[in-house]
Structure 1
Amino acid sequence: MTTCRLCGSASLASVVDLGATPPCERFLTERQLEEPEVTYPLHLRVCTGCWLAQIPPMITPEETFTEYAYFSSYSTSWVEHAREFVRGAVDRLGLGAGSFVVEVASNDGYLLRHVVERGIRCLGIEPSENVGRAARDAGVTTYTAFLDPGTGAAVRAEHGPADLVVANNVYAHIPDVIGFTKGLRALVADDGWVSIEVQHLLTLMERNQYDTIYHEHFQYYTVASARRALATGGLVLVDVESLPTHGGSIRLWARPLEAVNGPGGRSGPDGQGEPGGQNGRSRSDGQSRPGGPGGRVAALLAAEKAAGLHELSGYAEFGERVARVRRDLLGFLLDAAREGRTVAGYGAPGKGNTLLNHCGIRPDLLPFTVDRNPYKHGRFTPGTRVPILPPERLAEERPDYVLVLPWNLREELVGQLSFVHAWGGRLVFPIPNLEIVEVNP
């Protein structure tokens, strides 16, 4: 990588180098264990011009997402999060039977099915053919495509402009951030809304969440860099919410420039819009749309600046904190092996494969992991080649420790895994720091 993909600057500084790993969702079949496996450098850098953190686009989205192993509906808490988002968006934006909602990277319809239940017209745009089929089977109309300006214009021409465009956990997954943003603008009505959820670089850095760095994620956003990215497509950031999802995310609310500076809204501090009602009207119940005059935007920008993320000094110690996570986890696993204690994994998420590969954890230290997704059963983790089995194997094998790889679902999984208490098993969380947890029945 020689230049920033957002602003074109050649001033890119190293944040952390995780070596070379295979793509995190390229789970291996048994036959593929006898074949060579390609790895790619995984080196996070930050642009000192616009502060977008990024990795080189070593693999294309087409390689990763045409056939995809991740189905959102297998996470109970994530489905509930989607339900609450839809409920809130319907109320706050005044969506109804005459509205139109589009979700980009709609996966298996985990979110839009709640829109369908409310009788609101909607469309999913999903590049992965296999998960798109699952969405259609669930009654969610889904268009198989990657979003770019041409796709956005074609969908708008056929279906009309969207009152709300949702893009959850996809804004980091596209190397052409400018083209994707222009695609979002092509989809949304001139007085409409765009809602984007993406991991916040601030929490990634503060909580040592380095395992969320992998080849599917091409960039990592602060509010400052996200605002710059949105502006490339003619979208204005008007509000931002802090969310607990994925260890700490932000929900960006944006509007077309026309809605902010035209009759439907007015300009706020730092170019932020102060949202009015649908089509510029006020809500009859007196509640405001997301935002206000950029207050939460300003607060998070200030938090980022205080953490040093708008200057190079804030990134200096991250590499050492990452190394400490690796040393602690390996030390625990080696001690457990010497003591004759057994360890199994729970989950096979993409982030887990960054962790396993960076730490060099293979079946001698982690004989197997389990996952709720049947697509992964009988396959092996990329690079480290740990077998992936159905969840029932935990109760059969009764390991002394269960290493939880999707640590971001901690609250959900502590409840799901309470049964390990029956044989005295304990849970191990590797991020942000190694923690061994007793579970109660």
Structure 2
Amino acid sequence: MTRCRLCGSEAMASVVDLGATPPCESFLAAHELDRAEPAYPLHLRVCSECWLAQIPPLITPEETFKEYAYFSSFSTSWVEHARTFVTGAAERLGLGHASFVVEVASNDGYLLKHMVERGVRCLGIEPSVNVGAAAREAGVPTLTEFLSPEVGAGVRAEHGPADLVVANNVYAHIPDVVGFTRGLRALVADDGWVSIEVQHLLTLIEENQYDTIYHEHFQYYTVASAIRALASGGLTLVDVELLPTHGGSIRLWARPEGAAGAPSERVADVLAREKAAGLQELSGYAEFAARVAKVRRDLLKFLIGAAERGETVVGYGAPGKGNTLLNHCGIRPDLLPYTVDRNPYKHGRFTPGARIPILPPERIAADRPDYVLVLPWNLRDELVEQLSYVHEWGGRLVFPVPELSIVEVAPGGVTA
């Protein structure tokens, strides 16, 4: 990568190089195990002009999202997070029967179904054919498209301008930041609102969350770099919320330039935190690669030690972040014989690169392993409760990030 995709600068500095891995959602069917897998460099760099952290766009969204393995509704806490957001947004913006809401990357309708229940007219724009079909089956109107300025203008012409445009966990997934942002502007009314949730680079760096770096995530935002990105499409940041989701996210509230007004004090507060953490100078990124290497060493040491003691370790979850971790650490079925997942789409498939079998969750209770390695560590509270039954045979949970943590659970999900 020689130029920043946002500002065009050539002042790009290395943050961490994770080698080459397959795309994290390219799960393998059994008949594909003897085929070659493409692997692409996974090297995070930061632009020292606009401070957008980014990886090279080596795969296209079309390759990843036309047929997608992730269904948001399988996470109980994520559906609840969406319901809470809809309730708050409706109150904040006065959304009602006369309003129009668009969600970009609406997945299986996990969020907009709450708008439908409130009687708010809405539309999802979802590029994945299979998950978009699931949304329509659930009663959520959904357009199968990638957002562009042209698609945004077409939706506006047919349905009218949106009072609220929601773009949760998609702003990192598009290599054309400027074009996508212009698409958001095309959708939203001149006095409307855009709400974006995206992982915060501040917590990624501070909490060693390097497994959230994968080929679907083309860039990683601070509030400072998000301001630049939004401005490229004619949007102005007016408020920000810090969220615990995905290990630490930011919810950006933006409006068209003419309706924006002055930003809230929270914007200034978060910008000050980012500056204090050194994220507007290269020194703030200098030690991250060394801390990533320690996460890898500690996890491998634990898995090898368990194997030598004759103890069993299995996985829970098959998220994209888990595949970055498994491949970077070189973990194979000799150290992790299988993982389980609630999503039936993944059952009988194998993780990309590491080729670890994915089984239904009931397998854990049947096998009674000594340890369960939790790959979606960002759902820690939810999964400690879900997996509390492992206490019945003295099993323990292992969380690899931000540092190796072995947890004993008691009935009800309370840690012992």
TM-score under structure 2 normalisation? 0.99
Separation in 2, partners of 1:11, 1:67: 36
The CA deviation string for residues 204-257 of structure 1, in whole angstroms up to 9 with x for no partner, is: 000000000000000000000000000001000000000000000000000001
In the alignment, does 2:334 pair up with 1:364? yes
How do residues 78-227 of structure 1 correspond to structure 2 at under 5 angstroms? Answer: 78-227=78-227
Misfit runs of 4+, over 4 Å: none
- Tell me the equivalent position of 2:384: 414
> How far apart are 1:258 and its partner, in Å?
1.5
Separation in 1, partners of 2:224, 2:240: 11
Q: Aligned to 1:185, what secondary structure does the other structure show?
A: helix
Separation in 2, partners of 1:320, 1:300: 26
- Tell me the equivalent position of 1:374: 344
The CA deviation string for residues 131-174 of structure 1, in whole angstroms up to 9 with x for no partner, is: 00000000000000000100000000000000000000000000
How do residues 176-325 of structure 1 correspond to structure 2 at under 5 angstroms? Answer: 176-260=176-260, 267-268=261-262, 272=263, 294-325=264-295
- Tell me the equivalent position of 1:384: 354
Separation in 2, partners of 1:115, 1:433: 38
- Tell me the equivalent position of 1:275: none
- Tell me the equivalent position of 1:354: 324
Separation in 1, partners of 2:273, 2:385: 33
Q: Aligned to 1:82, what secondary structure does the other structure show?
A: helix
Q: Aligned to 1:68, what secondary structure does the other structure show?
A: coil
Consecutive unaligned residues of structure 1, counting only runs of 5 or more, are 261-266, 273-293
CA RMSD of aligned residues (A): 0.4
Q: Which amino acid aligns with 2:229?
A: A
- Tell me the equivalent position of 1:73: 73
Separation in 2, partners of 1:129, 1:376: 17
Separation in 1, partners of 2:374, 2:126: 29
How many residue pairs match? The answer is 411
Separation in 2, partners of 1:156, 1:342: 55
> How far apart are 1:259 and its partner, in Å?
1.0
TM-score under structure 1 normalisation? 0.93
Q: Which amino acid aligns with 1:21?
A: T
Separation in 1, partners of 2:58, 2:393: 45
Q: Which amino acid aligns with 2:352?
A: P
Q: Which amino acid aligns with 2:202?
A: L
Sequence identity of aligned pairs in percent? 80
Q: Which amino acid aligns with 1:388?
A: I
> How far apart are 1:414 and its partner, in Å?
0.3
The CA deviation string for residues 286-345 of structure 1, in whole angstroms up to 9 with x for no partner, is: xxxxxxxx2000000000000000111000000000000000000000000000000000
The CA deviation string for residues 42-98 of structure 1, in whole angstroms up to 9 with x for no partner, is: 000000010000000000000000000000000000000000000000001011110
In the alignment, does 2:311 pair up with 1:341? yes
Separation in 2, partners of 1:94, 1:373: 35
